Amino acid sequence: MTVAVPAQVERLAKLLRDAERAVVLTGAGVSVPSGIPDFRSPRTGLWEHVDPMEVAHIDAWRRDPDRFWRFYGDRFASLVDKRPNQAHLALAELERRGLIKAVITQNIDRLQRVAGTQRLIEVHGSIEWSVCLDCGGKVPLERVIEQLRADDGAPECACCITPLKPDVVLFGEMLPERALSEAQALALDADLMVCVGSSLEVYPVAGLPAMTRGAGGRLALVTQGPTPYDDDADVKLGGDVVEELRAVLAAL
């Protein structure tokens, strides 16, 4: 028996088939099925019980790196064993088939890279490394976790004996210029941008869909809840991100 494909799913599949320069933009919602909470959902969001300006601001790291790492260390340790879910894998498959050129992500969890995506622009950085701002040295996540387990204080650079900073964009910091420039170039060139698991509220990344639309490209949304771009999108899939992307793959 043939199962009817929902019209919106078929619409997105057709957009992907017809596009020549499609790109994907992902947010926290794509990693929720892997057991990683997003930031703002009631009761479960990361910032529900914590003021991000107190614990995740660059000034908080400068002022008290030990306190900063007591918060971030637990978060990083909780991410080490997380695995890509079927949404990550579906996006990697779209790239493998040549249907998308790249994935731009706001996520720092490295799961899209683990899933197999080759061209991944991590505009908010990655937990993969922590850096020494004195000498520029980089320390891999596994070694940082070892230091945190051995000592309650901030992990330190072995050369400079100064606190390490996670190589992620904290509040009060600018996005990495190279990553942002690449993301903007992809957005301007795209004839289709598919936004997955993002509320599209955090700038400057939230401005990327407008760049694609302004350059004549189309916009598709695969995310739960409203976004500022709902009226501009050619299609919106608002169900579970894993199920929606599975259905799109099946329709291709």
Residues that are catalytic: 124
Given a contact cutoff of 8 angstroms between Cβ atoms, the answer to whether 242 and 86 are in contact is yes
Name the nearest CA neighbour of 196 among 29, 17, 21, 23: 29
Collect all residues with Cβ–Cβ distance below 8 Å to 85 and sequence separation of at least 6: 30, 31, 33, 34, 111, 242
Cα–Cα distance for residue pair 231/236, rounded to 1 Å:
10
CA 145 to mean position of chain CA atoms: 22
Describe the strand order of the beta sheet including 165-168 as a list of residue ranges.
138-140, 125-131, 165-168
